[in-house]
């Protein structure tokens, strides 16, 4: 009788263990298969992009007359120009997949920031608002005042002199009060083979970034340049040869360098003394060229707005140059077309269309890792 009892107990234990093993195998297989499918699915988009090169895709259209659209609709409703109906489902799948990757990247970054709250706050950011306290709409972007600084006195004392003026003073409306059409061209490697050059050059104003060239890439990125947004590193690093390069001649160059979050301009000019010295030297070398400085207020008001419309914690760093470009152009444009700011079906791992560096962080952002 006792032997029978032992046998039954052993049978029950083995049954329970078998059930656990069975479910473990099923779950493991499911996760592995899902991962493989996801990787193959994403790889298929890269392959499919080869069929898509002759079409004008990934042009994000922003019409200033529609202020109530959600920024999230930049992703969901970005207007892809195409002539092949059979690609529509693939495009929708790609956008959905991209949203998932962006959300995951945002969540992972937020988790890292929460684990190291005291780190990565070079700009002494002290956000006084509430996360996700504002319902996002385009008008909020349009309401950020864009001011520029010129003729900064380099005495760096309590009498720092700043000459501030609006971006609208640089690009006023014409006599009919009509605003120009604008194109913002990213440096994305996905522009290679896009054949978007003619479409880009058809706009009244074309904005480019940093040292992105057009020569040898005209068919894909166009040739017209009206505005360049330059990171202050281009001014600080003599190897970029800003004072002599044709890239920066006969256009409006806007240089940005972030102050501390509290916007104390005196402390900023003192903390970034080398940058201001280089900037003044550049202006003396090329007095007929425009190298205005973007007011730090634009940078941190943009950051505040992003954090106020985002539930997760954002890196305490300035927004990307691309986002600042959107804020600037919305002040002066009737319609804004943005090229490859959000990855299209041409997505690849190239950082820039003009070099060979491969790094997916160029697309999904690596502020946290860099700092």
pLDDT, tens digit (0-9, with 9 covering 90-100), for 344-365: 777 777 889 998 888 766 766 5
Beta strands 181-185 and 163-166 are unpaired
What is the predicted pLDDT for the residue at 347? 74
Helix (H, G, I), strand (E, B) or coil at 269: helix
* Residue 239 main-chain phi, psi, to 5 deg: -65, -20
Sign of the four-CA dihedral 301, 303, 304, 305: positive
Tokens 């052993």 belong to: 10
120, 315 contact by CB (below 8 A): yes
Q: Which are the contacts of 298, defined by CB distance < 8 A and separation ≥ 6?
A: 144, 145, 146, 147, 256, 324, 327, 328
Contact 355, 160 (CB under 8 A): no
| pLDDT computed for residue 341 by the predictor | 87
Give CA 229 to chain center in angstroms.
13
CB 252 within 8 A of CB 292: yes
- Residues 321, 67, 303, 184, Cα dihedral to 10°: 0
Residue 49: what pLDDT?
A: 38
User: How far apart are the C-alpha atoms of 27 and 364, rounded to whole Å?
Assistant: 29
Give the pLDDT of residue 326. Answer: 95
Residue 50 and residue 335: Cα distance in Å, rounded?
Answer: 29
Q: pLDDT tens digits for the chain (371 residues)?
A: 666 666 777 767 777 776 666 666 556 554 444 433 434 443 443 343 334 333 334 455 655 443 333 444 444 444 434 445 545 666 677 677 777 777 776 666 666 656 555 557 889 999 989 998 998 888 899 999 999 998 766 554 545 556 789 999 999 877 677 899 999 999 999 899 999 999 999 999 999 999 999 999 999 999 999 999 999 999 999 999 999 999 999 999 999 999 999 988 888 988 999 999 999 999 999 999 999 999 999 999 999 999 999 888 888 899 999 999 999 999 999 999 999 987 777 777 788 999 888 876 676 655 433 33
Axis crossing angle, helix 321-332 with helix 296-308, rounded to the nearest 10: 100
What is residue 85's predicted lDDT score, i.e. its pLDDT? 53
As a whole number of angstroms, the distance between CA 343 and CA 189 comes to 10
Nearest to 188 by CA among 339, 336, 51: 339
Are the C-beta atoms of residues 309 and 132 closer than 8 Å to each other?
yes
Neighbours of 7 (CB within 10 A): 10
* pLDDT at residue 198 in the model: 97
Distance from C-alpha of 225 to C-alpha of 331, rounded to nearest angstrom: 18
Task: Return the pLDDT at 306.
Answer: 92
What confidence tens digit (pLDDT) does each residue in 159-203 have?
Answer: 555 678 999 999 987 767 789 999 999 999 989 999 999 999 999
Q: Which residues are 149's β-sheet partners?
A: 164, 293
């Amino acid at each position: 009788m006792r032997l029978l009892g032992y046998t039954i107990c052993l049978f029950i234990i083995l049954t329970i263990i078998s059930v656990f093993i069975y479910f473990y195998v099923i779950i493991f297989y499911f996760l592995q298969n899902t991962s493989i499918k996801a990787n193959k699915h994403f790889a298929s988009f890269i392959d499919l992009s080869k069929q898509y090169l002759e079409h004008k895709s990934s042009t994000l259209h922003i019409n200033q007359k529609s202020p109530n659209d959600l920024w999230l609709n930049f992703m969901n409703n970005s207007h892809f120009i195409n002539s092949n109906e059979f690609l529509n489902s693939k495009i929708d799948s790609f956008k959905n997949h991209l949203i998932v990757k962006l959300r995951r990247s945002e969540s992972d970054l937020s988790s890292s920031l929460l684990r190291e709250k005291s780190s990565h706050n070079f700009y002494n950011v002290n956000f006084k608002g509430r996360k996700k306290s504002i319902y996002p709409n385009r008008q909020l972007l349009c309401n950020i005042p864009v001011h520029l600084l010129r003729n900064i006195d380099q005495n760096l004392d309590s009498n720092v002199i700043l000459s501030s003026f609006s971006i609208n003073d640089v690009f006023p409306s014409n006599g009919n009060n009509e605003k120009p059409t604008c194109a913002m061209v990213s440096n994305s490697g996905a522009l290679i083979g896009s054949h978007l050059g003619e479409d880009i050059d058809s706009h009244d104003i074309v904005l480019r970034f940093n040292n992105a060239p057009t020569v040898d890439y005209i068919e894909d990125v166009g040739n017209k340049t009206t505005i360049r947004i330059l990171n202050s590193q281009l001014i600080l690093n003599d190897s970029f040869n800003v004072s002599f390069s044709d890239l920066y001649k006969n256009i409006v160059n806007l240089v940005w360098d972030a102050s501390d979050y509290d916007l104390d301009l005196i402390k900023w000019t003192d903390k970034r003394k080398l940058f201001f010295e280089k900037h003044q030297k550049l202006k003396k070398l090329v007095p007929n060229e425009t190298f205005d400085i973007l007011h730090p207020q634009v940078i941190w008001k943009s950051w505040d707005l992003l954090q106020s419309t985002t539930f997760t914690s954002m890196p305490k760093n300035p927004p990307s140059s691309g986002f600042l470009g959107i804020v600037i152009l919305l002040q002066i444009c009737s319609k804004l077309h943005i090229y490859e700011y959000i990855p299209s079906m041409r997505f690849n791992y190239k950082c820039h269309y003009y070099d060979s560096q491969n790094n997916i962080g160029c697309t999904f952002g690596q502020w946290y890792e860099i700092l």
